[in-house]
A and B are shown apart, each in its own frame.
Chain A
């Protein structure tokens, strides 16, 4: 099993990309867990896939599309959706500022 090196700092970098807050203890445990799991999973890197395409669909569906028109409100209404939001302002969902 090849040695996969993952440090707690490396985990924190990935966690930041995923917007996931982790404690130091979680980052350290995750580094050990992921190194062990990915070490085990690295067997697939020995498989020759030079001429093999990726699997983007498993049953052969192609070009599935619908016409670009608004659907009737038979699932729920915009008002019901807005009622489910934590805060609303003039018919729109309100959140904290993205840019400070």
Chain B
């Protein structure tokens, strides 16, 4: 039989005894062997541990089988696991072994999943290309000379290349959506608070969200059903009831109102991207949706608003890395202050240092009103602008990225250019809205993503529209070619 490539197909094959979980794990490990010399998507692979769990899963009886029974899943190395290390792709955490697991890992394991390994990312999730990892960039499976996108580049490349059936990423300002667009996977940033952040290393606490990355929309809906819900360990997790998202995959989208903001198709967006996404929107109209031209005039302010707030929060969150806790470092100093200065100076990478400096500056006496507080007020205005738009439409659609995956090395010397890569993903993050990247075509053999944004806690509408679109096309069936040895 041909090997399944989606969670649902693998579950079906497991149920009908056409394959075992052990075989799924072996196949995934084989793909990791073949792809990793080209991709660098994984920081650690749990060969033995995954095989042992698969054996256990294969011995369990069919009764009470859980939704992710026996499915190998990869985890962004920003999320704490008790197996292996958790490094955030930083040298400062190179020896950190977590004493407990994130709630999302416990939920995956309770659902029967097998954690196959930890994936590469931009250091502390700060970046849009995965080039700021202390352990080397992730290469795009469609073209090894190009970036995977970031910061969840390893998770996304792993799913695109079939090294895992699904992966967890985190999205602060586009870190699930942007690499998903670059690599051709389905990536969701849920509503702020939809998924517990407990045990997830904090970047910017009022933005961070864990997000599922999959090959298909329905797999993604299944993952969200497992992951979502209130958690007593995360006070910002929402008590809003979790819906059966998979039930919305297959419902028609007749008369659904879809807003196309003119600012998402502006001069800073590559015309070929705008065309591709407009064609995808037209397809939604063919399926019964009603397209409505809208405007979000404050979109130009989203990047400054986002970065000022995020870097301020990061400077505070990263104060805990003092070189004493979270794994010993090789530092010999005579006093505590010098220990801090040396640990943070030597073991943080350039973008992390830039973030701490910018955030500390924006929060310092004399500047806090002009920068941090002003950004927080503009955040309120941007939220209101989206609220008004959603009085007119059910969903908002636009591109995920202003361009396709860019060449490795082309933006690393210019931090502002790297920030501008978030142009189309920051607005939904600033407003805490759920948003998805769904594959919608190729330009020069590189994937393009369509972004679908919904009001707070209306992820089911995203799945409804994304599934209808996906099933009317075959983009998801196209996979990058396995490189020859």
Which of B124-132, B303-311, B471-479 binds A?
Answer: B303-311
Contact of A20 with B341 in the complex, beta carbons under 8 Å? yes
Select B99's contact among A18, A22, A34, A76, beta carbons within 8 Å: A76
Interface residue B5 (Cβ < 8 Å from any Cβ of A): no
Residue in B closest to A20 when the chains form the complex, CB atoms: B344
A26-B353, A96-B335 known; A19 and B238 CB under 8 Å? no
**Interface range for B:** 35 or more
Interface residue B380 (Cβ < 8 Å from any Cβ of A): yes
Q: Which residues of A contact B55 (CB under 8 A)?
A: none
Residues in B312-344 with C-beta less than 8 Å from chain A: 315, 319, 322, 324-325, 328, 335-337, 339-342, 344
CA distance in complex: A64, B324 (Å): 32
Select A58's contact among B100, B303, B378, B432, beta carbons within 8 Å: B432
How far is the CB of A7 from the nearest CB of chain B, in Å? 12
Residues in A13-69 with C-beta less than 8 Å from chain B: 14-15, 17-23, 26, 30, 33-34, 36-38, 40-45, 47, 49, 52-59, 61, 64-66
Contact of B236 with A64 in the complex, beta carbons under 8 Å? yes
Interface residue A81 (Cβ < 8 Å from any Cβ of B): yes
Select A14's contact among B361, B374, B456, beta carbons within 8 Å: B361
Residue in B closest to A51 when the chains form the complex, CB atoms: B377
How far is the CB of A6 from the nearest CB of chain B, in Å? 8
Contact of B456 with A44 in the complex, beta carbons under 8 Å? no
Contact of B192 with A21 in the complex, beta carbons under 8 Å? no
The number of residues on chain A lying at the interface, defined by a beta carbon within 8 Å of a beta carbon of chain B, is 52
Most buried by B among A14, A22, A55: A55
How far is the CB of A1 from the nearest CB of chain B, in Å? 11
Residues in B346-404 with C-beta less than 8 Å from chain A: 346, 348, 353-354, 356-358, 360-361, 364, 370-371, 373-381, 383
CA distance in complex: A55, B380 (Å): 5
A20-B345, A49-B378 known; A33 and B193 CB under 8 Å? no
Contact of B328 with A20 in the complex, beta carbons under 8 Å? no
- 0/1 string, B411-431, CB within 8 A of A gives 1: 000011001000000000001
Q: Which residues of B contact A43 (CB under 8 A)?
A: 300-301, 304
How far is the CB of A59 from the nearest CB of chain B, in Å? 5
A15-B357, A52-B377, A95-B324 known; A58 and B192 CB under 8 Å? yes
Can you list 5 residue pairs at the A/B interface with Cβ under 8 Å? A18-B356, A19-B319, A34-B361, A41-B308, A83-B99
